[in-house]
Amino acid sequence: MNKPASVSDQFDAVVVGAGFSGLYMLYRLRQLGLSVKGFDSAGDVGGTWYWNRYPGARCDIATPDYTFSFDPELENEWTWSEKYATQPEILDYLRFVADRYGLRSDIQFSTTVTSARWDEQEKRWTITTGHGQEIRCRYYIMATGCLSMPKSPDIEGAGRFAGQVYFTSRWPHEGVDFTGQRVAVIGTGSSGIQVIPLIARQASQLTVFQRTPNFSIPAHNGPAPADRLRQLDEDRDGYRHDARWSRIGVPNEPTDVLGVTASEAVRRERFEAAWEQGELAGIVNVFADQLFNPASNDILAEMIREKIRSIVTDPETAETLCPKDHYFGTKRPCLDTGYFDTYNLPHVRLVDLRKQPIVSITEDGIETADESFGFDAIVYATGFDAMTGALVAADVTGRDGLSLKEKWAAGPSTYLGLMTAGFPNFFMLTGPGSPSVLSNMAVSIEQHVDWVAGCLKDMREEGLDTIEPTELAESGWNQHVQDCGAITLMPTANSWYMGANVPGKPRVFLPYIGGVDAYRQACDDVVGQGYLGFRMTGPGADRCRDGVIRSMQPDVAMVLEFLAAMGLPPMDTLPADDARALMAATAAARPPGPEVGEVTDGVIPGPAGDLPYRLYRPAGPPEGPRPLVVYFHGGGWVLGNLDSDDPLCRDLCERSGAVVVSVNYRHAPEARFPAAALDAFAAVQWAAANALELGGIPGQLAVAGWSAGANIATVACQLARDAEGPHISGQVLICPVVDSDMTRLSYQENGDGYILTTALMRWFWDHYTDPADRGEPRAAPLRGDLHGLPSTCIVAADFDPLRDEGVAYAHALEAAGVPVRLARARGHTHTSVTMVGTVISGAPVRAEIAEALRNFFPSAEPLEHALQRS
């Protein structure tokens, strides 16, 4: 072991932690010719694998994948003995790596870094250790681990127990013999599930205290998977490339089978295959929608519960072991070897803490609400203060005396999970906001280390010596991380991913769930765009290209990718009928939208013949009449019909509680301007006159529309105002066409690549109107008189060419004294908000629309009053 020095020292970089991350970081920094000092509280290298020495400790990513890949020679020199190696073997491997590259000489062990402070004058960090050393360095790199800060057991009386106490995360090096002992294990997460079967082999009596049952599948350990080894043998580079560009850092073909639509046979076959394979990469990929759709997740979860029931012989114990309070995958799924079978042993007992909570640890055991237990030893497998624990504990103070703890009081804030504003030259490996714990960490660690090393190299080559993210870039990334989590079921669980296991820790989704591949691409794009979102300085240099690297909603991006892969012809190159057929074909393949109480079709008299309509009545009480919304579909006055917007109408009906009457209107080019607008006005007049028959409350009528449908909806409002009736309570305009001016900034920014293109918009206008008519308020309502129009809700989507005209309409209405609510569809395109059931992130926007609709109407107005008023 190195002797702690007591003198000040200067280094280019300090690396804290000597696990996978710290070792590789040290190696790369040395390659760059930098002077580096490493520290670790541990007595040797290994990190996780130094500390977690409990019996049964193993990796749960297969060894061909859970290994360094930066040096093919290293790979050739090391052979793993098992599919899932034990802790001693992984520790041996990391020792071997440290020796092979001579890394130990730069690491000071048994030394905790207690604080770090940025000196703005010197542009250096001062690092202080528990031994009182002060080290100065330019770059401060925390390789302190996501799961390295054990959570202290928050149990009454924990210090009183007179017997032996063990923590899985701080296991004695000499091992523990439980032979003949009465042992308690508290905690059934990954570590608990690994250690319990082994303790059961020795203990005379084992009692497991379980708060939350966890999903676990059998590891089927054995030799390293032959197919994987063969692939590596044949094409190591290709294999590693596939891992780096995969979703979780293990090469795996993502499935497109949806749990909700697959046949029972397909579901069963896919599940059984994953169960037999015994790999996390398999069980998280049974259905494409398992982490997004509760119904799909339930199908998978129930199949796992069936397995548990088939293994555990006592039905009550089996039921207690069946996880029912969280969706599969929203807590870390486990791999086990004989875990559930252990409960069939006569000397093993499960105590359900939900039924009988622990009241206190006593001198000789544990007291629950119902019983007193005597024990010789208590084993805590109670987990970690994950992802932020070790970072915050190391007392990092950045510019202006701001500490990381203060900055992160409401939850961590990072750019790419790598850096945080206000803390120049401070890097976190696998920090919050990166895929880290949701991935094969060997791959994620290498990617982070490579990124940091590449960054320092680039800085040196350009004569720069400080780097720090901007506030804008960082808040944009935080938003993206949360957006990615929000479309999954992850936020529904009380998991350590959400910080929920540590009392007082803010509830924030900590890792990045967009995928290892998407994340790598984002990091590469940041560099490719000249370190977008970073300020970098050096002698005489100060450069910053500010911006947000990902601002599109993740599911919207997925839809765009999917459509791009389909290679459909641009609509504006097709005759109108072909474009209509294409739209109908894509509409047929989407989810149907929510159930409503009643759907009826009919026709209404229009100015030039009958117009079909479809009426949606909400399910459930109240029975009587409800507010009425007349809705007009989108499609550039050329495309669309009652079917095209059916899911959206169902959604509007269900969310708002209003009766929605979707009206079809004459289309161009067969019926050009102003046919559609006149039909819309006629439909509104008819609906107002027939409100009661339609199940509506007379006088409580709003209009709504999307795109060109919003255009004719608001034109109808202008016409109704001019005609002094009918009374319209409000208008909802979703991404409306309100002007024919195509020079606004949003056309420049979004005119290509987001489904509604400038070319398509021109095609629509050409079909609908003569150029001479395009300034007419009935075509371009923004140019009309806006006084006296009803309350308005306008949805403007970030990636819509029509965004700025929608915003301009909102401002113009406001200026004319109209109450306006401008709902920003953040990260959305012209079409994505309407993609009910496909684009999950559109739901909050539609909820806002529904709320606006409800607010248009006086609440609970008795029908007699409404009748009198109308």
Residues forming contacts to ligand FAD in the complex (CB under 6 A) are 16-22, 39-42, 47-48, 50, 52, 57, 59-61, 66, 112-113, 143-148, 191, 390, 394, 429-430, 440-442, 445
CB of 316 to ligand FAD, least distance (A): 30
Strand order in the sheet with 164-167: 164-167, 377-380, 182-186, 205-210, 348-352
The answer to whether the CB of 653 falls within 8 A of the CB of 836 is no
Q: Which is nearer to ligand FAD, 332 or 767 (CB)?
A: 332
Task: Tell me the DSSP string of 52-105.
Answer: ---TT-B-SS-TTTSS--S-HHHHHH---SSSS-BHHHHHHHHHHHHHHTT-GG
Residue 444 region by backbone torsions, left for phi larger than 0, else alpha for psi between -120 and 50, else beta: alpha
Q: Are strands 348-352 and 205-210 parallel, antiparallel or unpaired?
A: parallel
CB of 235 to ligand FAD, least distance (A): 23
The answer to whether the CB of 141 falls within 8 A of the CB of 14 is yes
CB of 514 to ligand FAD, least distance (A): 18
Give the whole-angstrom CA distance, residue 113 versus residue 821.
Answer: 52
Token pair recorded at residue 84: 């899932």
Give the whole-angstrom CA distance, residue 344 versus residue 339.
Answer: 10
Token pair recorded at residue 744: 């606004």
Q: Which is nearer to ligand FAD, 376 or 385 (CB)?
A: 385
Q: Which is nearer to ligand FAD, 68 or 340 (CB)?
A: 68
CB of 271 to ligand FAD, least distance (A): 22
Q: Which is nearer to ligand FAD, 19 or 225 (CB)?
A: 19
Greatest extent of the chain over all pairs of C-alpha atoms, in Å: 95
Residue 48 region by backbone torsions, left for phi larger than 0, else alpha for psi between -120 and 50, else beta: alpha
Whole-number Cα distances in Å, 806 to 526, 766, 793, 797, 820:
31, 21, 10, 9, 12
Q: Which is nearer to ligand FAD, 405 or 727 (CB)?
A: 405
DSSP state at residue 432: B
Q: Which is nearer to ligand FAD, 348 or 429 (CB)?
A: 429
- 130 exposed, middle or buried (CB, 10 Å; 0-12, 13-18, 19+)? middle
CB of 640 to ligand FAD, least distance (A): 48
The answer to whether the CB of 473 falls within 8 A of the CB of 534 is yes
Whole-number Cα distances in Å, 633 to 319, 638, 738, 849:
50, 11, 15, 16
Question: What residues contact residue 672 under an 8 Å CB cut-off, 6+ apart?
Answer: 767, 768, 769, 770
- 548 exposed, middle or buried (CB, 10 Å; 0-12, 13-18, 19+)? middle
CB of 151 to ligand FAD, least distance (A): 12
Instruction: Answer positive or negative: Cα dihedral of 681, 687, 690, 696.
Output: negative
Give the whole-angstrom CA distance, residue 285 versus residue 248.
Answer: 10
Phi and psi angles of residue 699, each rounded to the nearest 5 degrees, phi first: 85, -10
Token pair recorded at residue 329: 């995958």
Helix, strand, or coil (residue 493):
coil
The answer to whether the CB of 9 falls within 8 A of the CB of 133 is yes
Helix, strand, or coil (residue 819):
coil
The answer to whether the CB of 706 falls within 8 A of the CB of 772 is no
Give the whole-angstrom CA distance, residue 657 versus residue 835.
Answer: 20
The answer to whether the CB of 638 falls within 8 A of the CB of 711 is no
CB of 270 to ligand FAD, least distance (A): 23
Q: Which is nearer to ligand FAD, 396 or 556 (CB)?
A: 396
Give the whole-angstrom CA distance, residue 172 versus residue 360.
Answer: 25
CB of 436 to ligand FAD, least distance (A): 8
Q: Which is nearer to ligand FAD, 36 or 113 (CB)?
A: 113
Q: Which is nearer to ligand FAD, 128 or 479 (CB)?
A: 128
Q: Which is nearer to ligand FAD, 499 or 696 (CB)?
A: 499
Q: Which is nearer to ligand FAD, 320 or 439 (CB)?
A: 439
Token pair recorded at residue 736: 């409306």
Q: Which of 706, 604, 726 is nearest to 649 (CA)?
A: 706
Q: Which is nearer to ligand FAD, 222 or 607 (CB)?
A: 222
CB of 507 to ligand FAD, least distance (A): 22
Q: Which is nearer to ligand FAD, 212 or 870 (CB)?
A: 212
DSSP state at residue 150: B
CB of 532 to ligand FAD, least distance (A): 26
